[in-house]
Each structure stands twice: as C-alpha cells, then as structure tokens.
C-alpha cells in the first residue's frame, strides 16, 4: 500500500477518533481534562512583567467568568511580549534614588510602584518626607517620555508573526482544535496582536477570531477600541504620528479611584488602574466590547482533539514532514500507525506547512504515566525546512516550543528527537501532571 492510500485510510480513522475522542472527553467520568471552547488570548502592554500579565489574566477571568454567555468554557492565556530596553529604566531609577543626598538609595523595591507614579509604599514615604515626591515626579516625567520613545521605536519596526513562533503555533493549534479565539490587547500588545490576528486569518475565517483593542499603540485596528483622553502615553504617540480616536473621558489623577492594586497610574495608561478599573466608566466600554466579540464568535471546524497534552508540528513550506510519538509502553504512533495505546495522531499532512497533531488521551484509564518521546522525520522533500513542534497541556498551555532545521529525507526514520514529555500520576490523589523532561 503506498503512503497516499495509507494516509487516506488513516485520515478516515483519525476523523472517527477525533469525533469519538471529543465526545469521550466531556462525557467520560474518568476524564482528567476540561476542554475549553473559547480562548481569551491577552497581549500585554508596555513595560509589563510576565507576573503582571498573569495578574491581568486573573482579573479578566474575574470580570468575564469561566463560561461565555453562549455556554463555552473560557480558557485564559497570556501571549507575552517584553518591552525592549526595559532594563535601561533601572539605570535611570537608580540615579533618582541617589537624589536628595541618597534619600532612597538602594531601595529598588519601589521600582514597580514608580512605573505607575504612585503606590502605598511611596505614599508612606512621601507622607513622612514630603520632598520624596520630587524624586517620584522626576522619574515619572522621564518615564513618560521614555515609554513614548519605546513605543515609537516599536511602531517604526513592528513585530511580525514570524518573530513569534510560539504564538503562531499556539494559534494554529487552537484553530485545528475548533476553538473560538478572542484576542484582547493592551498598549504595545496591540502591535503583536495585529500580527497574530493576521496570522489567524490565514488559518481560519474572521468569524472565528475577534480582536478587542485597549489603549492601542497602533493606528491599525482590527476590532473595536477603547482609549482614554488622559492616556498620556498614547497622547505622546499622537504628537509623533497617528493614533486611534479617543473614546472616553476619565477623571484627572487626583479625582480617580485607585485600581484593584491600589494605584491610579499618573500616566492614565494602566490596564488595572484605568481600563478595567471598575470604579471608572471607561471599564464598561472594554467589558461590552469583549462580551460582544465573544457573542459574535463562531467555532471553526474541528480537525483535531484537545488532549491531556498535545504535540503540534508545523513547517515552513512544501514537503512531507512526519511527527512521531513513542509512548511509555513503546507504542510508536505516526502516519502509518495513527492509534497508540494512550494517544492518537489525528491530523496528518503530506503536502506542505503542516500541521500534524498528536494528542494523549484524557481518559485516566488510557493515559499512561511515563515518558513520551516526540521526534520528527523529513519523510520527503523537506530538506532545509524549519520545522516547529509545540507541546501543550490542557491545563497550563504551552510547555515548550522547539524549531529545527531538517536534514535530508529519512523516510520513516525520525532523525530529529525534540521532546521527552513526562506524564506522572500521583499515587495518593490519582491526579495526573505533565512536564517537559530532559
């Protein structure tokens, strides 16, 4: 039997597995996963740490819940972007701490509060030593200009989806698993979100992916937006180029209620302090945009099953690249043997780009603890292509993404070992967990 015929039969089998797998996942009592129908993908703003982006994700969950109005369970994800030059801000902050005869010398714990221009610790210091307010104001004034410079530089050299392989692969995985995708972006995250949105449109239709812009640093919009009149960062960008129109007026700094973190943000640009601050009317616009976008989303066709963990393969052009999974009991799962003892290859591609998709079962009776080896083969005509494999768990999202340049064709022999995925079962609780091993 040649590979094409074999693959047609396997594809039919995979389709049946996909349908039965999907239904088993939600109805089997022994399921160890909870599937989501809607992805809330948050792209963070300028000078945001990953932990702060995690907090934003938690706050969005608090505001929008576990389930959409149409009954889809929501999975919240952060698509993180770092602001280049963030570390340079530390040098300037250090200089400010040395002012007034070293009044605050070495107190770098005040840094993150200072980025918002206020905070409980700064307030206590200023209450005791009023002149410390001058140190904070000097830093905030400098920071305002520096943030605008940082965003202007980014606008001059905007990110493309090519720079963000993990984001791209993640979106591709959501599409083939039939997820509705809501992208919500704040500040500089809008530039990354626009690139991600355009990539998503190459994989699915505009019915299945929506974008909501918050304080967009980009003049290009792909959805509804919210922008405060006293957002000094975006106003600074307006001075050097075009930005989106103002949608809302917010109270001046002294009249604003603080956000959940106890801060008001002197620059009027913060997500928690301004745009999702439930004490400000502007937050209702953001919320209504998100809820309207959720309601309008239509699920793309399901091509693959969400598993306990998944391995998704893509590559950058024509050729036939194969995903191989070796399960703990030695079962070899690939195009010629799509059903293993714990998982399945449910998407196969023999032409170009991928994806190929393996998933491990959510059924506790089927899922084997142990090491799953994930490897690649250039089956044919993919020499020199860059292939990317992403491992993701149902609970934590992406565990790892690796790319490799393929060598010459090796047929069914996988020459590129990429991941050891370790599934463990707690003997006392029976709870399964998964991690990338050595």
Partner 1 sequence: MIRKLLIASLVTAVPGCGGGGGSGGSNTETPKTPKEQVSALETSGFIPQLDRGTSLTGSDANSNGVRDDIETFIAKTYSTEPRRAAALQTAKALQHALVVTLTDATAVKAVDRQISHGINCIYKQFADNSPHPARVTQELESVTTNTKERLLAYLQFNKALDGTSSALPQGDTCE
- Which of residues 170 and 285 has its CB atom nearest to partner 1 in the complex? 170
- Which of residues 76 and 139 has its CB atom nearest to partner 1 in the complex? 76
> Does residue 133 touch partner 1 according to CB under 8 A?
no
Q: Which of residues 334-393 bind partner 1 (CB under 8 A)?
A: none
Q: In the bound complex, what is the minimum distance in angstroms from residue 396's beta carbon to partner 1?
A: 6
Q: Segment near partner 1 (CB under 8 A), from 80-88, 200-208, 248-256, 323-331?
A: 80-88
- Which of residues 165 and 299 has its CB atom nearest to partner 1 in the complex? 165
Could you check whether the bond before residue 222 is cis, i.e. omega within 30 degrees of 0?
A: no
Q: Segment near partner 1 (CB under 8 A), from 95-103, 177-185, 354-362, 373-381?
A: 95-103
Let me know: does 164 contact 195? Beta carbons within 8 Å: yes
Cα distance between residue 32 and residue 14, in whole Å: 21
- Which of residues 120 and 241 has its CB atom nearest to partner 1 in the complex? 120
Q: Segment near partner 1 (CB under 8 A), from 74-82, 139-147, 211-219, 233-241?
A: 74-82
- Which of residues 67 and 242 has its CB atom nearest to partner 1 in the complex? 67
Report the DSSP pairing between strands 356-360 and 416-425: unpaired
Q: In the bound complex, what is the minimum distance in angstroms from residue 132's beta carbon to partner 1?
A: 8
> Does residue 102 touch partner 1 according to CB under 8 A?
yes
Of 57, 96, 225, 269, the residue at the interface with partner 1 (CB under 8 A) is: 57
Q: In the bound complex, what is the minimum distance in angstroms from residue 305's beta carbon to partner 1?
A: 17
Cα distance between residue 183 and residue 216, in whole Å: 13
Of 107, 201, 384, 407, the residue at the interface with partner 1 (CB under 8 A) is: 107
| Interhelix angle 282-296/50-64, nearest 10 degrees | 80
Secondary structure (H, E, C), the chain? CCHHHHHHHHHHHHHHHHHHHHHHHHHCCCECCCCCCEEEEEECCCCCCHHHHHHHHHHHHHHHCCECCCCCEEEEEEECCCCCCCCHHHHHHHHHHCHHHHCCCCCHHHHHHHCCCCCHHHHHHHHHCCCHHHHHHHHHHHHHHHHHHHHHHHHHCCCCHHHCHHHHHHHHHHHHCCCEEEEEEECCHHHHHHHHHHHHHCCCCCCCEEEEEECCCCCCCCCCEECECCCHHHHHHHCCCCCCCCCECCCCHHHCCCCCCCCCCCCCCCHHHHHCCCCCCHHHHHHHHHHHHHHHCCCCCCCCCCCCEEEEEEECCECEEEEEEECCCCCEEECCECECCCEEEEECCCCECCCEEEEECCECCCCCCEEEEEEEEEEECCCCCEEEEEEEECCCEEEEEEEEECCCCCCCCCCEEEEEEEEEECCCCCCEEEEEEC
- Which of residues 251 and 262 has its CB atom nearest to partner 1 in the complex? 262
> Does residue 26 touch partner 1 according to CB under 8 A?
no
Of 94, 141, 229, 383, the residue at the interface with partner 1 (CB under 8 A) is: 94
- Which of residues 10 and 325 has its CB atom nearest to partner 1 in the complex? 325
- Which of residues 85 and 241 has its CB atom nearest to partner 1 in the complex? 85
> Does residue 58 touch partner 1 according to CB under 8 A?
yes
Of 6, 49, 331, 410, the residue at the interface with partner 1 (CB under 8 A) is: 49
> Does residue 170 touch partner 1 according to CB under 8 A?
yes
> Does residue 142 touch partner 1 according to CB under 8 A?
no
> Does residue 166 touch partner 1 according to CB under 8 A?
yes
Of 9, 12, 69, 90, the residue at the interface with partner 1 (CB under 8 A) is: 90
Q: Please work out the total of residues on this chain that contact partner 1, with binding judged by CB under 8 A.
A: 68
> Does residue 257 touch partner 1 according to CB under 8 A?
no
> Does residue 432 touch partner 1 according to CB under 8 A?
no
> Does residue 190 touch partner 1 according to CB under 8 A?
no
Which residues contribute to the site for partner 1 (CB under 8 A)?
34, 41, 49-52, 54-55, 57-59, 61, 75-82, 86-87, 90, 94, 100-104, 106-113, 120-121, 123-125, 127-129, 131-132, 163-167, 170, 259-262, 272, 395-402, 435-436
């Amino acid at each position: 039997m040649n590979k094409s015929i074999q693959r047609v039969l396997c594809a039919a089998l995979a389709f049946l597995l996909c349908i039965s797998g999907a239904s088993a996942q939600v109805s089997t009592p022994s399921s160890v996963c909870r599937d989501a129908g809607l992805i809330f993908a948050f792209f963070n703003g300028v000078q945001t740490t990953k932990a702060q982006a995690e907090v934003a994700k938690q706050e969005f969950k608090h505001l929008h819940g576990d389930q959409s109005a149409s009954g889809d369970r929501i999975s919240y994800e952060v698509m993180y972007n770092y602001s280049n030059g963030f570390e340079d801000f530390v040098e300037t902050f250090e200089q400010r701490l040395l002012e007034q005869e070293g009044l605050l010398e070495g107190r770098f714990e005040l840094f993150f509060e200072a980025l918002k221009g206020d905070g409980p610790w700064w307030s206590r210091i200023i209450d005791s030593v009023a002149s410390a307010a001058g140190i904070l104001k000097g830093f905030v004034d400098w920071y305002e200009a520096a943030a605008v410079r940082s965003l202007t530089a980014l606008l001059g050299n905007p990110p493309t989806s090519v720079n963000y392989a993990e984001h791209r692969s993640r979106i591709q995985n959501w599409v083939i698993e039939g997820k509705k995708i809501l992208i919500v972006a704040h500040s500089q995250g809008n530039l990354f979100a626009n690139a991600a949105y355009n990539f998503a449109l190459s994989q699915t239709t505009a019915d299945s992916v929506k974008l909501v812009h918050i304080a967009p640093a980009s003049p290009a919009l792909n959805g509804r937006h919210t922008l405060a009149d006293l957002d000094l960062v975006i106003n600074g960008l307006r001075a050097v180029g075009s930005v989106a129109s103002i949608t809302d007026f917010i109270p001046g700094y002294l009249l604003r209620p603080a956000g959940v973190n106890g801060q008001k943000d002197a620059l009027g640009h913060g997500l928690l302090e301004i745009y999702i601050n439930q004490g400000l009317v502007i937050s209702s616009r953001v919320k209504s945009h998100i809820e309207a976008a959720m309601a309008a989303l239509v699920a793309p066709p399901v091509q693959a099953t969400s598993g306990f963990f998944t391995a998704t393969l893509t590559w950058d052009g024509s050729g036939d690249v194969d995903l191989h999974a070796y399960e703990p009991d030695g079962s070899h799962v690939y195009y010629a043997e799509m059903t293993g003892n714990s998982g399945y290859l449910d998407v196969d591609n023999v032409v170009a780009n991928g994806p190929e998709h393996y998933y491990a079962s959510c059924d506790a009776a089927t899922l084997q603890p142990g090491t799953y080896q994930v490897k690649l083969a250039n089956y044919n005509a993919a020499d020199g292509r860059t292939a990317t494999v992403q491992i993701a768990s149902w609970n934590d999202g992406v565990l790892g993404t690796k790319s490799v340049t393929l060598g010459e064709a090796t047929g069914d022999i996988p020459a590129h070992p990429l991941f050891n995925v370790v599934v463990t079962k707690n003997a006392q609780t029976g709870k399964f967990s998964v991690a990338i091993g050595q």
